[in-house]
A and B are shown apart, each in its own frame.
Chain A
Amino acid sequence: MVAFRNTDTSQRTTGLLLRCVLYSLLALGLIIVDKRYDHLGRIRRVLSVVAYPVQVAVASPFDGWNWFKDSVTTRDALRADKAKLEAELRIAQFRLQRYEALEAETQRLRALRESTVGVTDRFVIGDVMDVDLDAFRERVLVDKGAGDGVYVGQAVLDSGGVFGQVARVGQLTSEVILVSDPAHAIPVQINRTGLRTIAVGTGDMNRLKLPYLPTSADVIAGDLLVTSGLGGGFPAGYPVGTVAEVKRDPAQSLADVDVKPAAALERSRELMFVWLKPQTAEVLPTPAAPKPAAPKPAAPKQAAAKP
């Protein structure tokens, strides 16, 4: 039975049209103000705190399930995990041995060229919340917000490479737009040749594209793309993806290049928010003075803090 109980059909809603027009004008005004001016940023930040309980309530069963899964792991599984992690750590430390020296060298060379683009200063780890934002845009909600110093446009990495950037900041949460979003573009450099171009998202989490490379460009499948640091948004030298396929149509002037993202866009749960070192004159060191920016090695690397 599909029936409504309220059958007193005599009720007239007075001034329906008037109220409709008023509310619509209010909504239109909000749209225009939000789009054109930046005044709503603070209001939105406060309002996002109101939305937070709903988001936490939705995410909590999934968090609970993950916690449950973690707490019933067997001893053997934990042991295997530990062995694997130790092996990975050994390899990582082995690779790190020359990193400090290389970094210093890079800095010196950069200083010579007077380019000090994007050097990472410190980072904070945030957890992806189990909440769906827009179904048609590639975005995730992360549990770090303006209260943690996160700002709009900030670079976000995962353990594999560049994940995206902060699109919007609330007090307690922030929205990260993925590199695979069709509205996202990131300046990159082909590691093998140094060729600079722009990688654009496609809406498919497993594919980016390089739409601005001429057919004659030196790019082959397997090339590593790293951030170029141009534009100042992203730190330089982090992996963005590898070239999966290059299609060259002689009739076209531009090549069709597919890129597989380096970050695990579908699976990553923990993301790193990166702060760039302020670009001041002091970043250009004289060869005698080894890097005046003192807090670099002792940068406050906050561990994953789960609230």
Chain B
Amino acid sequence: MMHDNRIRRFPMLLSTLVALALAVLPLPAVLEPLRPDFLVLVVFYWCIESPRAGGLGLAFVSGLALDLVHGVVLGQHALALTLMGAWATHLRLRIRVYSVLSQCLTIFLLLTGYQFVLFWVDGATGNPVTTFSRWLAPFIGALLWPALVNAFGNLRGRS
């Protein structure tokens, strides 16, 4: 069991770093609101795939990293990611046996919850973002989910 977990750590850290880089990659202003929350998807994946390897600690630390690179109040993304990561971990056995469509819908729900926590903290700390485009990211993220799971499955299958 220990051995198993140790093997999984490397792809986990690598994918987390890559997703963090994607989160700050410059995009044209038009596409920017459409940018999916890559890091959140990756954290969800690892929460569902092997909750013991990373789990909530990974979610919390990734959230802090997002707070830093986005330059928002410290703890905002960490809170959202922790809550939704815990939910994903709780649902993981069900999600694994879901059909693709149901998986996408579940992920969409989780991503929307994530955005909602961000939205709430934004408002509570006094700088609300009221544009509707914020709610587009969960759609794109949910659409990306099957591709992400496939890619990760293949990655791990080869190694």
* Residue ranges of A at the interface with B (Cβ–Cβ < 8 Å): 1-7, 9, 11, 13, 16-17, 19-20, 23-24, 26-31, 33-35, 40, 44, 47-48, 50-51, 54-55, 57-59, 62, 130-137, 139, 141, 167-168, 175, 183, 203, 205, 266
Contact = CB atoms under 8 A, between A and B. Distances in A.
B121 A31 contact: yes
B103 A2 contact: yes
A137 B129 contact: yes
A24 B125 CA distance: 17
B60 A27 contact: yes
Contact of A31 (B65, B73, B146): B73
B17 A54 contact: yes
A279 B125 CA distance: 33
A160 to B, nearest CB: 19
Contacts of A168: 71
B71 A167 contact: yes
A140 B74 CA distance: 18
Given A6-B49, A31-B125, A23 B75 contact: no
Contact of A3 (B50, B55, B134, B153): B153
B149 A23 contact: no
A182 B79 CA distance: 25
A48 B69 CA distance: 8
Contact of B72 (A27, A33, A134): A134
Nearest to B35: A135
17 contacts: A3-B149, A4-B153, A6-B50, A13-B89, A23-B78, A24-B79, A27-B63, A29-B75, A34-B74, A35-B125, A54-B17, A54-B20, A55-B69, A133-B69, A133-B70, A135-B35, A135-B133
Contacts of A3: 96, 149, 153
Contact of B153 (A1, A29, A62): A1
Contacts of B134: 136
Given A3-B153, A16-B86, A27-B76, 4 more contacts: A2-B146, A24-B83, A26-B75, A47-B68
A16 B69 contact: no
Contacts of A135: 32-33, 35, 133
A19 B150 CA distance: 29
A31 B126 CA distance: 12
A301 to B, nearest CB: 29
A136 B49 contact: no
A54 B52 contact: no
Given A2-B149, A55-B24, A132-B32, A27 B68 contact: no
Q: Among the interface residues A24, A26, A28, A50, which one has the most CB atoms of the partner chain B within 10 A?
A: A24
B13 interface: no
B128 to A, nearest CB: 10
Contacts of A13: 51-52, 55, 89
B25 A132 contact: yes
A16 B86 CA distance: 7
